[in-house]
Structure formats: structure tokens, C-alpha cells
């Protein structure tokens, strides 16, 4: 009986070690596959600690790359790209653009003309419906989030209150300001805009933005590479030919305008 028990314990230990080794190999393979994402994380930490020395990494708000249909929706460093991975099982569904400022200071604008919607319980998010400029007849949506302070107080302008539906906006319409609301009060993220392009379902409504397959590669809409597997981890995402529109005058910071939310 002792021999049988010993064999069983030995086999269990061997199986555990084998599973541990397999898990380690899988993690190693994941780390290698998404090494560019990990490099971007390290560079982003450098930027967030002190943004001023890295101002040349920033994209300008409302500028256009060549003849791309979309204008940049905010100013800042594009820290994460479409398809980046932060952990096994997760894929990033859009762009994270970090202004390097405090909440309520860096403006956020509509990237393309459309019709704006805001859910009745949305503190920090907006979504805009568009006729797809690259695929006539298709409807797409652009999603803007983290537009609230750490406690969830909205930094969206008063023109778009909760429950807004079908409000026409032009490219360059001021929507709000970059914030750092994570969805849980008191647990902030870095101050940034998360921007994504979302597919429509059969009913014309936007699909679940949290799934990569429900979103689109933003590269052709902005005119330069913005997908994780097309940009090396040590490269700064920007328009290689230079921007075709200058940065407009920046409006006053949110907390200076007297909005109450």
C-alpha cells in the first residue's frame, strides 16, 4: 500500500511539475509574442513620470495625416495601440492617448462628423455614429472614454448630458477633457483618452467594444500605422509625412470654465 501511495504521490508531483513547466513555457511564448507591448509599457512609464522631456512624442489634436479621413481627437503620446496585450487573454481594442496633464486639462474632440449618443448612466464615455468614409454603406462608431476625474465626476461638456441621443457633431467638436476614471471611484488610471472604432451589429447598434473582434484597426482612418503588430515597441507612433493641419488654439482647461458635474 505504501508503494502504491508513493507511486501516486510521485506521479502527482511529476504532473504538477510538468504543468508548471508547460505554464512557464506558455508565459515565455506570450512574452515573446507581445514583447513590443511590454516595451511600450516601459516607455509609457517613463513618459508618465515626467512628460515634458518627451513632448516631441505627442500627436497634435485636430491634425490630419496626409488625406486620412479622421483628425486626431486629442493631443498626447499614443502609449498603446490596437491589438496590444497587457496580460495573457487580453487584447487592447483601441488607442490610449496620454496628454501628460492633470484631469480636465487636455481637450478631446470628435474625430469625424456623426451623430452622438451618451448612455443615461455613462459618467465618462461618449460614442458617435458615422457613415464609414472608407466603406460606403457601412456604419461604424467612434468611442471615447476616461472623460471623468478619479471619483467619476464627468469631464464631458454640458452640451452632451447623460441620455443624449442622435446629436449631430462635426469633426473637431469639443466633447470634453481627458480624465483618469477607471470605472471604480478612487482607483484612477493614468490621465488619457481611450479611443476605438467599433463595428455595428445587424440592428445598426454598436457591438461590445471590449472585444477586439468588434473593433477596427484605426490605421487606415488616421493614415499611419496604429496596430500593435505593425509598430516596433521602441518606435513612437506618429504621422511619418508630417501633419497637414496645425494645432488650433487650445480652449481653457475644464476646471477654469465653471462647469458643474
Tell me the pLDDT tens digit for each residue of 76-105: 999 999 999 977 778 999 999 999 999 999
Does the residue 16 lie in any domain?
no
The whole-angstrom separation of Cα 32 and Cα 40 is 14
On the question of pLDDT at 35 being above 90, the answer is: no
Does the residue 66 lie in any domain?
yes
Does the residue 2 lie in any domain?
no
Q: How many structural domains compose the chain?
A: 1
pTM: 0.85
Q: pLDDT band at residue 22, thresholds of 50, 70 and 90? A: low
On the question of pLDDT at 31 being above 80, the answer is: no
Burial label for 114, CB within 10 Å (0-12, 13-18, 19+), is buried
Does the residue 15 lie in any domain?
no
The whole-angstrom separation of Cα 247 and Cα 59 is 10
- Spell out the residues 6+ positions from residue 72 whose beta carbon is closer than 8 angstroms to its own: 59, 60, 61, 62, 63, 64, 97, 111, 222
For 7: left if phi > 0, alpha if psi spans -120 to 50, otherwise beta; the answer is alpha
pLDDT digits (tens, 9 = 90+) for 131-161: 999 999 999 999 999 999 999 999 999 999 9
pLDDT digits (tens, 9 = 90+) for 37-52: 889 999 999 999 999 9
Does the residue 7 lie in any domain?
no
CATH number of the structural domain spanning residue 166: 2.70.70.10
Does the residue 210 lie in any domain?
yes
Higher pLDDT, 255 or 151: 151
Does the residue 28 lie in any domain?
no
Beta bridge partners of 177: 107
Q: Of 2-6, 67-71, 191-195, where does mean pLDDT reach its minimum?
A: 2-6
Q: Which domain holds residue 193?
A: 34-256
Does the residue 261 lie in any domain?
no
Amino acid at each position: 500500500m505504501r508503494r502504491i501511495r508513493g507511486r501516486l504521490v510521485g506521479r502527482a508531483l511529476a504532473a504538477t511539475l510538468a504543468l508548471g513547466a508547460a505554464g512557464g513555457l506558455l508565459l515565455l511564448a506570450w512574452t515573446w509574442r507581445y514583447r513590443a507591448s511590454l516595451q511600450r509599457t516601459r516607455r509609457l512609464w517613463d513618459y508618465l513620470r515626467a512628460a515634458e522631456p518627451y513632448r516631441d512624442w505627442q500627436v497634435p489634436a485636430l491634425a490630419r495625416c496626409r488625406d486620412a479621413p479622421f483628425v486626431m481627437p486629442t493631443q498626447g503620446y499614443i502609449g498603446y495601440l490596437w491589438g496590444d496585450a497587457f496580460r495573457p487573454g487580453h487584447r487592447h481594442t483601441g488607442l490610449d492617448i496620454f496628454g501628460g496633464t492633470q484631469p480636465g486639462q487636455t481637450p478631446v474632440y470628435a474625430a469625424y462628423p456623426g451623430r452622438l449618443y451618451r448612455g443615461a448612466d455613462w459618467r465618462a464615455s461618449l460614442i458617435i455614429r458615422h457613415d464609414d468614409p472608407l466603406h460606403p454603406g457601412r456604419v461604424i462608431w467612434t468611442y471615447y472614454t476616461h472623460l471623468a476625474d478619479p471619483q467619476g465626476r464627468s469631464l464631458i461638456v454640458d452640451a452632451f448630458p447623460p441620455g443624449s441621443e442622435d446629436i449631430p457633431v462635426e469633426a473637431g467638436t469639443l466633447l470634453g477633457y481627458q480624465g483618469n476614471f477607471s470605472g471604480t471611484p478612487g482607483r484612477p488610471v493614468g490621465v488619457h483618452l481611450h479611443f476605438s472604432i467599433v463595428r455595428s451589429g445587424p440592428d445598426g447598434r454598436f457591438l461590445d467594444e471590449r472585444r477586439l473582434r468588434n473593433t477596427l484597426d484605426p490605421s487606415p482612418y488616421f493614415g499611419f500605422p496604429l496596430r500593435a503588430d505593425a509598430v516596433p515597441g521602441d518606435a513612437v507612433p506618429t504621422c511619418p509625412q508630417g501633419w497637414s493641419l496645425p494645432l488650433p488654439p487650445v480652449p481653457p482647461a475644464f476646471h477654469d470654465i465653471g462647469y458643474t458635474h
